[in-house]
Amino acid sequence: MNYKKTFRFYLALWLAKLSSFALKILKRNATYFPGKVALSICPDFMGRLDKPKTIIGVTGTNGKTTTCNMINDILSQNGFDFINNKYGSNIDGGIATTLISGSTITGKAKKDLAVLELDERSSNKIFPYVTPTYLVCTNLFRDSLMRNAHTEFISNILNKYIPKETIMIENADDIICSHIAEGNKKIYFSIDRLETDTEECRNIIRDGKLCPKCLTPIKYEYVRYHHIGKAYCPNCDYKCPKPDYHITNLDLKNMQMTLKFKDGEEVYDIINDNIINIYNMLAAIVVLKQLKLTQKQINDSFGKLKIVETRYTEESYKNYKIVTQLSKGMNPIACSMAFNYTRNEKGNKAVIVVLDDIHEEAKGMENTSWHYDTDYELLNDESIKQIILPGPRYMDSYIRCLMADIPREKMVHKKDIIEATSELKLDGIDKIFILHDLYAIEQAKQIKQKVKEIIDEYENK
């Protein structure tokens, strides 16, 4: 649709810019409100605003923020001048705010490039007005059932609203994500079979169990986790696509990976050994290669990156390693992957799980059902010597752990986070994992401080 700049558009733009200026003077975040102002005055504002010539969008259930952060940091380090929503919201108001910040007073785009993290649930409010040149879809899993319902619902929204002109960059190992926007031009990425892959799914949930074409149960050459792997329908042609870019040699010992593509092979250093972050790196590399960055440019920049502290930290404290890891509440896959990472880490571990999703209650609703889609069974492992379950969800998590056959004597469950953490036992422990929700970062910091105090006391005995 050909949108024109009307008086209402200019009014929306100027008031948005004014509100952004005022918020900055007041030292408040101007990452959502200005865009919201513009959209409330002119609902199709984003359609009327001039946009950068090249727009990179990143959507999907998990890994959007990390992938975007990687792309943003590498582009910045290589001198690219672009706009992004790194510090802003990924829904319509946030996207509008970012575009406004990158526009002149007459609504012209100041930059030629934008990198936008896009909430998949908000596609209906963004894609009618913003056409990404490339759109990465990292994966599609079940997320908050209150907001995102189920993968079929999210797939339907994406299929309905993604513009036909957009070139999709999709995860070929995800049979749901790789079939989004079927008519569009596509670039697929994949990680070849790994030693840790299995014949059967070991997780308690797996979406896309039946072929959508013929209702035959989907089979797998191998399963990595949940529905990620090499899937195919034994009765028709529905299957995971052949990748354009794939990792052929994932060498976690030397923290390197080999990327194979039509024109050659390249080796990259790995910045984090979590498979989720390796997928995120892969998605970022594929995007950056479309922007003609060289292997050297990308890899040199990777060497300077680390996963942001709200998502993952590790600190050696006296004789112990303390790890904090985001386990996004309401998101059973993210939590299961965090549990799996914890389980697979070497050494004996104590795990403090503070999945405090109770912030939803403040919005008038909560739903604890997702705990039963989350693989607490992964915490039932010989190497995990103690599990501490603090916070308002202590009973929900405790019962879920009982359902996972975790022995009662291994667990501490108490509402008060400090009181619960006080019961940490360090005998024979090498590592302490604090798995926390995005909204429990402050609690995680308090827990970490308490853990250090306990270590101090223990070491001074």
Partner 1 sequence: MKIEILYPEFCDINSDMGNVRYLKKCLPEAEFIETSINDVPAFIGEEEISLVYMGTLSEHSQEIVIQKLKPYKEKIEEAIEKNQLFLFTGNSVEVLGKYIEDEERKIEALGIFDVYAKRDMLHRHNSYFLGKYEDIAILGYKSQFTMLYGDNSNGYFATVDLGIGINEKSKLEGIRKNNFLATYIIGPILILNPLFTKKLLSLMGVKEPKLAFEEEVLESYNIKLKKFKTFTNFEK
**Residues touching partner 1, count (CB under 8 A):** 31
Of the candidate residues 249, 254, 319, 367, the single one contacting partner 1 (CB under 8 A)? 367
Q: Which amino acid is at 4?
A: K
Burial call 159-171: b when 16+ CB within 10 Å, e when fewer: eeebeeebebbbb
Of the candidate residues 106, 237, 365, 382, the single one contacting partner 1 (CB under 8 A)? 365
* Per CB under 8 A, 201 contacts partner 1: no
Select 239 or 393, whichever has its Cβ closest to partner 1.
Answer: 393
Of the candidate residues 40, 395, 425, 449, the single one contacting partner 1 (CB under 8 A)? 395
Of the candidate residues 41, 47, 111, 152, the single one contacting partner 1 (CB under 8 A)? 152
Q: H or E stretch including 408? A: none
Of the candidate residues 28, 209, 306, 425, the single one contacting partner 1 (CB under 8 A)? 209
| Residue 154 contacts residue 94 (beta carbons within 8 Å) | no
Q: Which residues make beta-bridge pairs with 435?
A: 325, 353
Q: Is 334 helix (H, G, I), strand (E, B) or coil?
A: helix
Q: How far apart are CA 286 and CA 268, in angstroms?
A: 12
* Per CB under 8 A, 369 contacts partner 1: yes
83 phi/psi in degrees, rounded to 5? -105, 155
H helix runs in 226-312, sequence order:
275-290, 295-302
Residue 146 is classified by DSSP as T
| Residue at token pair 């960059």 | 169
Q: Which parts of 320-339 interact with partner 1 (CB under 8 A)?
A: 332
Question: Minimum CB separation from partner 1 for residue 382, in Å?
Answer: 22
What mask, x for binding partner 1 by CB under 8 A, covers residues 216 to 245? -x----------------------------
* Per CB under 8 A, 215 contacts partner 1: yes
Going by C-beta distance under 8 Å and a sequence separation of 6 or more, which residues neighbour residue 395? 413
- Going by C-alpha positions, the residue among 83, 61, 225 that lies closest to residue 158 is 61
Q: Which parts of 401-460 interact with partner 1 (CB under 8 A)?
A: 402-403
Select 144 or 324, whichever has its Cβ closest to partner 1.
Answer: 144
Select 286 or 334, whichever has its Cβ closest to partner 1.
Answer: 334
Residue 313 is classified by DSSP as E
Binding site for partner 1 (CB under 8 A): 142, 145-147, 149-150, 152-153, 204-205, 207, 209-210, 215, 217, 332, 365-373, 395-396, 398-399, 402-403
